Structure 1
């Protein structure tokens, strides 16, 4: 059996699950993972703080083709628009493990790693004074906030470490999310959770990670991963659904 890179803290999904990134086309999803909208919502202070699920979309076709050019009129599914739209499908992301190029931040209670190349502009890291400041503080509150904010980074750009070999990772079943950002009035990445392998059409398998965000707007400079460009361009997928904030607070 071929050996793949697996990020520490990741449980690889069962064999039936995987995603193939077509060289000039969509994401082909295998294994029928559940696919739901995931709204990123603020607390009463206006800080992005929690997720709330929205509408579920079918993944019963094998494979299910999901749009990655941003132009499909049947989002989240591919309708062939990638053939005619003006976009660059080039897969330019590093083939190296995420942690190899990550910065490390040590603290008295917990450590933090950060690879900015994978930022999906979710902004969970900004709450309560920013995670890079929190990690340097002493006390249970700072530790818990550091872990909470790192865990909610959908891209896995951030990881909290309780010791040198075991990152704190949230548990996810193999599943997909369509990130929605009502605060910015835009739609975000395809959120891949639970150790689902992602491979190119040529067979290369990217590092398998518990949390990954894939570009849906077609304009990322780090494809297949999201780099937050959807926010600056105001990408909207046009999908219905707008759950009201719950006022969840710390």
Structure 2
């Protein structure tokens, strides 16, 4: 069995290999529309290798059905090839340091609520209740745009190897699955990353939240 990996086909689908589990999740939201946590809806049966739609037009989502070729999908990639550490901005706190890379944010919304958000809360983490809430919010961030360190050590959620289809959103890749760009440019392997499946991202193959703007469903 090959190591888990995702290869981005030129102007085509994501080719997943290594018997990577596929599931579907959606956020549970409050009465105010605030994302609170994740719910796994179902596991999706796959083989050791499978192809996932990247253009957003397949009639067999999340799987590719060849529509990208018929419609002339342009999957040109422009995601950053440097490291998260190179791009992140620090927000110091008490007992925690918050880091943020706005360029890879997918606007999932777990980082804030009606009262505050992790950027404001990082300055009041001398309150352990606030600190715990910040940690929990960051750990639910699917893209890994937000991370935190404790005593200089990166603390990441324990996520399994897998691909999750976020309802009406991106592919959430977890567990350090290697992603290869079609153009051969390097991509940093991370514990969590989100890949565009609406076809509209300006940061391909990464999601940039465009699915919300174009009204993507699937």
In structure 1, what is the Cα distance between the partners aligned to 2:169 and 2:44? 16
1:160 matched to which residue of 2?
Answer: 148
2:187 matched to which residue of 1?
Answer: 206
Per-residue CA distance 1:50-109 (angstroms, 9 max, x = gap): 00011221221x420000000011111000000122542101111101220111110123
TM-score, normalised with respect to structure 2: 0.94
Structure 2 counterpart of 1:23, from 10, 34, 48: 10
Name structure 1 gaps, 5 residues minimum: 1-13, 181-186, 238-250
In structure 2, what is the Cα distance between the partners aligned to 1:152 and 1:16? 26
* Bigger mean CA offset, 200-209 vs 216-225: 200-209
Q: CA deviation at 1:163?
A: 2.2
In structure 1, what is the Cα distance between the partners aligned to 2:94 and 2:2? 40
Count residues in correspondence.
216
Name structure 2 gaps, 5 residues minimum: none
The answer to whether the 8 Å contact 1:88/1:219 transfers is: no
Instruction: Identify the structure with bigger relative contact order (alpha carbons < 8 Å, sequence gap 6+).
Output: 1
2:39 matched to which residue of 1?
Answer: 52
The answer to whether the 8 Å contact 1:154/1:191 transfers is: yes
The answer to whether the 8 Å contact 1:146/1:160 transfers is: no
1:7 matched to which residue of 2?
Answer: none
TM-score, normalised with respect to structure 1: 0.82
Whether 1:139 and 2:154 are equivalent positions in the alignment is no
Structure 2 counterpart of 1:101, from 87, 110, 120: 87
1:116 matched to which residue of 2?
Answer: 102
Root-mean-square deviation over aligned CA pairs? 1.6
The answer to whether the 8 Å contact 2:12/2:73 transfers is: no
2:147 alignment partner, SS class: strand
Whether 1:72 and 2:87 are equivalent positions in the alignment is no
